[in-house]
Structure 1
Amino acid sequence: MTKTIQPTQTTAYYVQAVLSFVVSLSAVAIALFYLPTAGWIRAFLGLGLLYVVTSTITLCKVVRDRQELAEVSNRVDQARLDKLLAEHDPFKVDA
């Protein structure tokens, strides 16, 4: 059976991703707060920002789920192939 190598993430990469998200979200929120326009315009832009964030998180989950599903399917296909190869006898003569 072939062994697949699972990619790993370092703690530093995880922390960098989280900090990048927090800094970018904070920067846009602060910019919206200090934007010299009417309150309803800032609220509209804030709702747009929240929509972008939630849809991005949903997209990340969908991509992750599709990748995991493909990985499981590949494992099942590989197991079936290994079973067929193990049961196959090239020298067996059918009567």
Structure 2
Amino acid sequence: MPALLITYDLNNEIRRPPIVKKIKDTWSWARLSESSYAVQTHLSPSQVFEQLRPLLDNNDNLYVITLKKPYSGWGPKDVNDWLERNLD
């Protein structure tokens, strides 16, 4: 199953909890940074975007990008392990 990167920049911070809840309740995920998550899903980037779009204000930014190996980076062990298990 493909992995996707969801990254966002919210200008109205009261909207963050609904987006985070949707991500955590819907997909297998790893938090890469404060506003970036890797998720595993059979959905396309466009389909994931459409599920999250209603949670955004017009001045917010949101990108959904396909993730795959090779990648480079370092962070917490649980995130590194998740990436190793879930990236093609």
TM-score of the superposed pair, with normalisation by structure 2: 0.25
| Structure with the bigger percentage of helix | 1
The structure with more strand, counted as a fraction of residues: 2
Instruction: Output the TM-score relative to the length of structure 1.
Output: 0.24
